[in-house]
């Protein structure tokens, strides 16, 4: 890879964080969907336990990714983007970070209000925040959490469509900026 290509491509660490978090978010969305459709309450609670643990793991990975981003240069956006495309790309990325941090914290907050700890896949538990119990507020926050999760999935679809557009129509590197292979033109 040439130096100019490397300057337009994300670092390997950023790529790893991106793809691990992306896969974890999609799996967590499917867990939530599966839990909602589980018939037995025991099954629903077991699936939601994995959803909660994965959410906390996503939060930790996101904080690691933000640290990585602050300590490693981010490649500039392709120069052929229209101003609205660059603005939309930046806005979606900011919203991603807000959701990647806000959804797990909101879920922990709501679980705390419901008096529930979070079991981290049987390795350890995260205790409820010292908030006191408030079932009505917990229910409201869980509703916001679900809405935020749905918004996140729509934004992910938009992000994927944008990456595919830039890769195959604009031919400006698109998805290859976040992969260690493929052509990222100058």
For 35, 44, 60, 171, the CA distances from 141, given in Å and listed in that order, are 18, 19, 21, 42
Instruction: Tell me the C-alpha distance between 132 and 147, whole Å.
Output: 24
Closest among 101, 118, 7, 117 to 52, alpha carbons compared: 118
Please provide the size of the chain in residues: 186
Model pLDDT, residue 173: 85
Question: Taking the chain (186 residues) in consecutive chunks of 10 residues, what is each chunk's mean pLDDT?
Answer: 68 98 98 96 97 98 98 92 94 97 98 97 97 96 97 96 93 92 86
What integer pLDDT is reported at residue 21 of this predicted model?
98
pLDDT of residue 82: 93
Closest to 170 measured CA to CA, from 41, 81, 49, 61: 81
| Packing angle, helices 41-71 and 12-37, rounded to 10 | 160
- The per-residue pLDDT for 5 is 58
Q: What is the pLDDT of residues 114-166, one digit of tens each?
A: 999 999 999 999 999 999 999 999 999 999 999 999 999 999 999 999 999 99
pLDDT attached to residue 4: 56
Helices (H) and strands (E) in the chain, counts: 5, 2
d(CA 73, CA 97): 17
């Amino acid at each position: 890879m040439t130096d100019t290509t490397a300057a337009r491509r994300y670092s390997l660490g950023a790529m790893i964080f991106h793809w691990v978090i992306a896969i974890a978010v999609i799996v967590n969305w499917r867990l939530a969907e599966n839990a909602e459709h589980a018939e037995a309450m025991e099954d629903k609670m077991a699936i939601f336990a994995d959803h909660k643990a994965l959410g906390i793991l996503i939060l930790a990975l996101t904080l690691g990714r933000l640290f990585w981003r602050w300590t490693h240069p981010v490649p500039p956006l392709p120069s052929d983007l229209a101003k609205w495309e660059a603005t939309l790309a930046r806005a979606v990325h900011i919203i991603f970070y807000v959701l990647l941090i806000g959804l797990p914290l909101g879920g922990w907050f709501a679980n705390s209000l419901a008096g529930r700890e979070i079991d981290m896949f049987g390795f350890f538990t995260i205790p409820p925040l010292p908030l006191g119990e408030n079932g009505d507020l917990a229910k409201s926050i869980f509703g916001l959490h679900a809405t935020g999760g749905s918004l996140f999935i729509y934004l992910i679809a938009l992000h994927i469509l944008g990456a595919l557009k830039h890769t195959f129509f604009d031919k400006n590197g698109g998805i290859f900026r976040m992969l260690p292979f493929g052509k990222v033109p100058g």
